[in-house]
Chains A and B, each alone.
Chain A
Amino acid sequence: MRAFPLFFFLLCVVPALWGNHITVCPSCHIHSIQAAVDQARPHDTVFVMQGTYIESPIRILKPLHLIGQMNPTLDGGGKKQSIFAVQTDSFSIDGFHFTNVGLSYTSEIAAIFVANSKHFTLSNNQMDHVFYGIILQHVKYGHLLHNTVEGKAIDETSSGNGIHIWKASHIHVEDNHISGMRDGIYFEFVNKSKILRNTSQNNVRYGLHFMFSNHDEYHHNEFRNNGAGVAVMFSKFIKMHHNIFHYNWGTASYGLLLKEINDADIKWNHFVQNTIGINIDGCNRITYENNDFVRNGWALRFTGGCYTNVFKNNNFMYNAFDLSYNSRVNNNLFNSNYWSEYNGYDLDKDGVGDVPYRPVKLFSYIVNKTPETLVLLRSLFVDIINFSEKVSPVFTPDQLVDKSPLLKPVPIPPTPNKM
């Protein structure tokens, strides 16, 4: 794995040194990118100078390096075809500006469409007014770096995803900015890949959408103000850490939706002002450590059978509800968390409260049964029944306790998503 960057570097640099250079500009002898691509021999480099090129599709079927100088604009002319349709190994596309990719309800059209490829880099591209930004299909060992995709999506049916990857492995998605698309980043059947330092915001549906993808990790990303937050579904062995999930606020929003996730690690994340911090549905053997849950509607919401999850050293601060639980406790463990609503004492001054904390309040139990009762939130009556339930628990699961609640919040450094 350590040799990989070097290998990759050679892959990029060596052809650039030995291959030929072809220059394309609007007033040059070669003024169409497709013509340059057709003329080039494998491993040549095509330089595209500043200007606007109305071309689509540009088919690339041999290993090439396309480099945009001073951000040339590739205009799809609103046609229902991808601008770049690539089907080859060892290529790179760098520094272009894509616009005007047509919308289709039946086929997937993108600024860059890559199929059946290995060892490629897509970097420093900007995309706006595109249906899909980047689509990868059946690929391996790809790098998507420093791309920007901006859309103005209005609804889910007439919009596409920023970065859409289907059937792939070993993909690195790093430092991209995606906003205003349907899903910011979409992963389906993508294994052993990494999503690092991306920003995904204001998307109609999910900031990040994971389906059937195993052994992936994503960290130092920011997911902000997306229609429904981030969804991770039907996946195993995912590492999620140092991410920020915030302002995913709406009637059907959450910071993070976990559905049928097993053996994941969720650490050092910040969940701030989401309607639901994490919605957990049928997830087993997940470790939640050192996460910050601040001012969410529900910090955690369990909605299905979940077994052997461990919650340790998390901060639950100023959430309307810390926890909502609609099934049995099923040996999920809460230990050594900080709860801002904890009002026990610590006689031996070891920083751990002497009285266990029960995170499920009676009102949260009632709201689970009859959601309409939520209009009574913060009413004196609710405070009274919560208090009486706390004194003698009758309805709330009595095994669900944090036996050693912390008295001071765990210091969790803010996560810079630019490193």
Chain B
Amino acid sequence: MLKILKYSIYDLLRSRWSYIYFIFYLILGFVLLFLNTDIDKAIITLLNIIIVLTPLIGTIFGVMYYYNSREFTELLLAQPIKRKNIFLGQYIGVSLSLSLSLLIGLGIPFVLYGLFKSASIFDFVLLIVVGTFLNFIFVALAYNIALRTENKIKGFGFAILMWLMFAVIYDGVFMISLFIFNEYPLDKFALIATMFNPIDLSRILILLKLDISALLGYTGAVFQKFFGTSFGLLISLSVLTLWVLLPVWSIMHISGKKDF
């Protein structure tokens, strides 16, 4: 598996997409810090971007990589290598290279602007951790979709729909249900509902560290009590881990059975 991982990382390092992605984050980091030298505020802006873009890029990249390397994968399948190792290696390769672009691309500007001297280093680390989680989750979900659909166009369509679902539609439904049932106590429901969407979970995890905890009133108190403690942080990180593990398990399951 390590060999496959190595090859897929080499392959990705040769492809210009990971460089474009890396340079995009690099420029983004510098521009953000150039526009507002306050690292704290830059992190809030960055949050918006990470929450929306990391899943999108992870999804598209995952699907694209699977379809592009399909022939190579078929070649590998003909060799005496475990299927599990092939797909896991590829998956980890893609996720790792994306996460590295994120870490290095954003890390360089923030370190140059004095991150280590700033008090918000913990927030930044949390942001990167959450971004990495989102990468791993969405690449895994994209792989699932790609493995299930032979048709490329259909696969891309489903992948985008999946991203749209988590990034936008879920929140819309969530908001409408809060709106309709506002006669009832909703804080527990809201808490549980966020667990079912990795994007919402990451957003709230970071927001509570940053700015909204006090705005939320009673609901905020419930959320703060849950996410603000190290127990809550642990729970939400394990839910995010679960969000990685389940799709990965599903990748192995499908790839084990799939007829290539």
Which residues of chain A have a CB within 8 Å of any CB of chain B? 249-253, 275, 295, 297-298, 318, 320, 366, 369-384
**B179 pairs with A381, CB closer than 8 A:** no
Q: How many angstroms from the CA of A230 to the CA of B106 in the assembled complex?
A: 41
**B51 pairs with A384, CB closer than 8 A:** no
**B219 pairs with A371, CB closer than 8 A:** yes
A370 surroundings in chain B (CB, below 8 A): 178-179, 182, 186
Q: B161 an interface residue at 8 Å Cβ cutoff?
A: no
Q: B207 an interface residue at 8 Å Cβ cutoff?
A: yes
Name the residue on A nearest B197 (C-beta). A379
Q: B175 an interface residue at 8 Å Cβ cutoff?
A: yes
When each residue 170-209 of chain B gets 1 if its CB lies under 8 Å from chain A and 0 otherwise, what string results? 0110110011001000110010001000011001100100
A318 surroundings in chain B (CB, below 8 A): 41
**B212 pairs with A379, CB closer than 8 A:** no
**A373 pairs with B179, CB closer than 8 A:** yes
Name the residue on A nearest B186 (C-beta). A372
Size class of B's contact patch? 35 or more
**Can you name 10 A-B pairs with beta carbons within 8 Å?**
A275-B215, A320-B215, A371-B217, A374-B216, A377-B207, A377-B212, A378-B48, A379-B199, A379-B200, A381-B172
B57 to chain A, nearest CB (A): 14
B186 to chain A, nearest CB (A): 5
Q: B245 an interface residue at 8 Å Cβ cutoff?
A: no
**A375 pairs with B223, CB closer than 8 A:** yes
Q: How many angstroms from the CA of A250 to the CA of B215 in the assembled complex?
A: 8
A381-B168 CB under 8 A given contacts A369-B182, A372-B182, A372-B190 = yes
A379-B171 CB under 8 A given contacts A251-B220, A371-B217 = yes
B23 surroundings in chain A (CB, below 8 A): none
Given contacts A251-B214, A295-B211, 8 further A-B contacts (CB under 8 A): A297-B214, A370-B179, A373-B178, A373-B179, A375-B194, A375-B204, A376-B171, A380-B171
Q: B52 an interface residue at 8 Å Cβ cutoff?
A: yes
B207 surroundings in chain A (CB, below 8 A): 377-378
Which residues of B in the span 43-97 have a Cβ within 8 Å of any Cβ on A?
Answer: 47-48, 51-52
B219 surroundings in chain A (CB, below 8 A): 371-372, 374-375
**B220 pairs with A320, CB closer than 8 A:** no
When each residue 92-132 of chain B gets 1 if its CB lies under 8 Å from chain A and 0 otherwise, what string results? 00000000000000000000000000000000000000000
Q: How many angstroms from the CA of A379 to the CA of B200 in the assembled complex?
A: 8
Q: B140 an interface residue at 8 Å Cβ cutoff?
A: no
Q: How many angstroms from the CA of A250 to the CA of B200 in the assembled complex?
A: 23
**B221 pairs with A251, CB closer than 8 A:** yes
B160 to chain A, nearest CB (A): 14
A295 surroundings in chain B (CB, below 8 A): 211
**A380 pairs with B168, CB closer than 8 A:** yes
Q: How many angstroms from the CA of A62 to the CA of B95 in the assembled complex?
A: 84
A371-B218 CB under 8 A given contacts A380-B52, A380-B168, A381-B172 = yes
Q: How many angstroms from the CA of A370 to the CA of B183 in the assembled complex?
A: 9
**A320 pairs with B218, CB closer than 8 A:** no
Name the residue on B nearest A297 (C-beta). B215
A366-B179 CB under 8 A given contacts A376-B174, A378-B203, A380-B51 = yes
Q: How many angstroms from the CA of A253 to the CA of B216 in the assembled complex?
A: 12
B169 surroundings in chain A (CB, below 8 A): 381
Q: How many angstroms from the CA of A295 to the CA of B36 in the assembled complex?
A: 14
Name the residue on A nearest B44 (C-beta). A378
In the A-B complex, the 7 residue pairs with the smallest Cβ-Cβ separation, listed nearest first, are: A381-B171, A297-B215, A370-B182, A275-B214, A372-B186, A379-B171, A372-B219
B174 surroundings in chain A (CB, below 8 A): 376
A255 to chain B, nearest CB (A): 12
A253-B171 CB under 8 A given contacts A369-B179, A373-B178, A375-B190 = no
Q: B26 an interface residue at 8 Å Cβ cutoff?
A: no
**A250 pairs with B48, CB closer than 8 A:** no
**B168 pairs with A250, CB closer than 8 A:** no
**B211 pairs with A320, CB closer than 8 A:** yes
Of B52, B169, B171, most A-chain CB atoms within 10 Å: B171
Q: How many angstroms from the CA of A218 to the CA of B50 in the assembled complex?
A: 45
Q: How many angstroms from the CA of A381 to the CA of B217 in the assembled complex?
A: 22
Q: B167 an interface residue at 8 Å Cβ cutoff?
A: yes
Name the residue on A nearest B56 (C-beta). A380
A326 to chain B, nearest CB (A): 15
Of A297, A318, A374, most B-chain CB atoms within 10 Å: A374
A297 surroundings in chain B (CB, below 8 A): 211-212, 214-215
**B48 pairs with A375, CB closer than 8 A:** no
Q: How many angstroms from the CA of A160 to the CA of B249 in the assembled complex?
A: 62
Q: How many angstroms from the CA of A350 to the CA of B214 in the assembled complex?
A: 39
Q: How many angstroms from the CA of A379 to the CA of B186 in the assembled complex?
A: 19
Q: How many angstroms from the CA of A413 to the CA of B226 in the assembled complex?
A: 41
Q: How many angstroms from the CA of A153 to the CA of B219 in the assembled complex?
A: 27
Name the residue on A nearest B214 (C-beta). A275
Q: How many angstroms from the CA of A374 to the CA of B224 in the assembled complex?
A: 13
A251 surroundings in chain B (CB, below 8 A): 214, 216-218, 220-221
A48 to chain B, nearest CB (A): 46
Name the residue on B nearest A298 (C-beta). B215
**A376 pairs with B175, CB closer than 8 A:** yes
B171 surroundings in chain A (CB, below 8 A): 376, 379-382
Name the residue on B nearest A274 (C-beta). B214
B214 surroundings in chain A (CB, below 8 A): 249-251, 253, 275, 297
B126 to chain A, nearest CB (A): 15
**B167 pairs with A380, CB closer than 8 A:** yes
B53 to chain A, nearest CB (A): 10
**B194 pairs with A377, CB closer than 8 A:** no
A366 to chain B, nearest CB (A): 7
A381 surroundings in chain B (CB, below 8 A): 167-169, 171-172, 175
